[in-house]
Chains A and B, each alone.
Chain A
Amino acid sequence: MSGSHQTAHDVVFHVRRYTPERDKAPYIQSFTVPVHPGMTVLEGLHYIKENLDQTLAMRYSCRMGICGSCGMLLNGKPTLACNTQILDIADRELTVGPLPNFDILRDLVPDLMTMFQKHRALMPFVKRDDEEDVNDPAGEYYQSPEELEHYLQFSFCIRCGCCMAACPTLATDANYLGPMPLAQSHRWNQDTRDGARSERSSLAGGSHGAFRCHYAGECSRACPKGVDPARAIQHLKRQLVVDYLHLAKRKKPCEKQHGPGAFPKDPKIPEAPPFTLP
């Protein structure tokens, strides 16, 4: 057997538990977990659930940092449990809690619906005026690699909620849209295929929108995917101010489409052979 399953030592997990039907407020329950090098917090929680207390509730799925389910507060830092090795952040004691700034449904499970509702309110999809073409497209919308770079970083968001948990404004203002919805609003605004920037700006530039961000930067620190929502929100603010002062350069979504006959054919490319199927 390889050395990876050798136990380094025991780590005490102080887990914040809460059962709504039974408890008035969350409480801490401690478990001793044998930890080996390379073991993630999620593996530690699985150990607890399998061997010590089957009633522990938590969200998890992919266990590889891409689904965004296992966002938790680990030693005061909101991050993904599957992505974090226990011995990287703790020596003998580790506190595990649900993400703050969300209601707790049970134990380590936060209610992320408010985040999703705010996200949905900002229309996180390509929205254009030419409905017919969107529903029945004749070809592709052209987007250059340079245009893609304007929003690609922000498209890596996995909606884990860690940024929302870290944000100081969300700690007191329940109506603040939050880093994830605002960063995604910017992602769609910057997408040259999209034409709904002014529609989003009434909410994004409203009284609980981008201007309630004060660049504490905690969201970018917490993000497990390097999305840097703080950067996106500052760029969003710039866009909102530029639009307000009527100085915006790009006002319409991109129009070019690839499709049969859209561009003159390069003579060096031979004709396609005839179809062999009817």
Chain B
Amino acid sequence: MKPRIGVLVFPGSNDDRDAALALEGLGAEALMVWHGEADLPDVGAVVLPGGFSYGDYLRCGAIARFSPAMQAVADFAAEGGLVLGVCNGFQILCEAGLLPGALRPNASLSFVCRDVTMRVERTDTHFTSRCEPGQDVTIPIKHGEGCFFADAELLDELETNEQVVLRYAANPNGSVADIAAVINAEGNVMGLMPHPEHAVDPLVGSTDGALVLGSVVDAVRERMAVSA
């Protein structure tokens, strides 16, 4: 049986199909989950895709967190389920309190759309196991509000607990400590601003996104093998 991974779809999501396509290309079965669903299907991981859920009204991700499906995601995460938030998905996870910190408008106030290089800080996570320690990965970003913020106390906590998973080589948006990806203390929820689902085919210049998504597929497969 293929590893089953849910992809949430909010009104305004626009990377859900790319995420599903990328996951299926990596051997998973992707199940689209409409935001109005109160229960998740039987999946080993959930991806919150990029986009502009609810038009980014109020604050990015602030409205989406009240979707029925997000309550299901919170329960899933509390039971140890793997949750990956990409871009708007990262913003939603921060607003929902499933990840620490917040995402603010880019320091430049410009929407930035280009490939960025990041250093992999941890390879012992479910989301980066296919990476080499210290590896540089190149994955595109496309966001107007990707400036990760944590106050001094929270930043200290994140660094002490080694919760920073990816760091920009050249900071594109003003994020504190060049943070591109953070993971929760339990290690089962990660958010990142770059879009791994857009970097899985040599046609578009980089396949480094497959290192992230492939790690999730591997983790779900391993969990299935353990529970079988």
Please indicate whether A and B come from the same complex rather than being unrelated chains. no
Residues of A in contact with B (beta carbons under 8 Å apart): none
